[in-house]
């Protein structure tokens, strides 16, 4: 078999007509919008924080606080930061960076902010009642 014969048996992607060639602009926009909605439905990180139901908000808050506590306990009981650093300043910088990573991972910062607001309201009520 010659090399020309082998190459002619394979079809390239450019040999086929694309389905998009037969669609109108309106149909292309509908498909794009449907794909975008399907992506948002399957990817919970893209759901808008302000459009969550109260049940979902509390469930997400609980899960995020639990994940933060787990990460904090893993961070606090590991001596790797002491071994990595030479002085106290460097230890503080490395440890603060690790805490920043924990609190800002994924979408945790919104839920941690809600926790801080809730704690400050509780402290305020305790302060004014005393």
Output the six-digit token pair for 86. 């030479």
Give the closest residue to 105 by CA, choosing from 56, 81, 61, 71.
71
29 assigned to some structural domain: no
Average pLDDT of 34-61? Answer: 78
14 assigned to some structural domain: no
> How high is the pLDDT of residue 115?
93
Average pLDDT of 23-52? Answer: 77
Tokens 């509908």 identify what position?
30
Average pLDDT of 57-71? Answer: 91
Question: Crossing angle, helix 88-104 and helix 108-129, to 10 degrees?
Answer: 100
Provide the domain limits for residue 97.
44-129
pTM over 0.75: no
| Percent above pLDDT 90 for the chain | 25
62 assigned to some structural domain: yes
Average pLDDT of 41-68? Answer: 81
The total domain count for the chain is 1
Give the model confidence (pLDDT) of 71-84 as tens digits. 988 887 666 767 77
């Amino acid at each position: 078999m010659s090399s020309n014969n082998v190459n002619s048996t394979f079809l390239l992607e450019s040999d086929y007509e694309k389905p998009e060639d037969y669609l109108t602009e309106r149909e292309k926009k509908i498909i794009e919008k449907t794909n975008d909605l399907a992506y948002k439905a399957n990817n919970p990180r893209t759901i808008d924080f302000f459009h969550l139901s109260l049940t979902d908000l509390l469930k997400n808050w609980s899960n995020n606080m639990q994940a933060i506590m787990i990460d904090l306990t893993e961070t606090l009981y590991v001596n790797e930061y002491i071994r990595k650093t030479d002085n106290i300043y460097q230890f503080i910088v490395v440890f603060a960076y690790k805490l920043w990573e924990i609190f800002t991972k994924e979408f945790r910062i919104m839920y941690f902010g809600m926790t801080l607001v809730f704690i400050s309201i509780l402290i305020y009520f305790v302060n004014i009642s005393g």
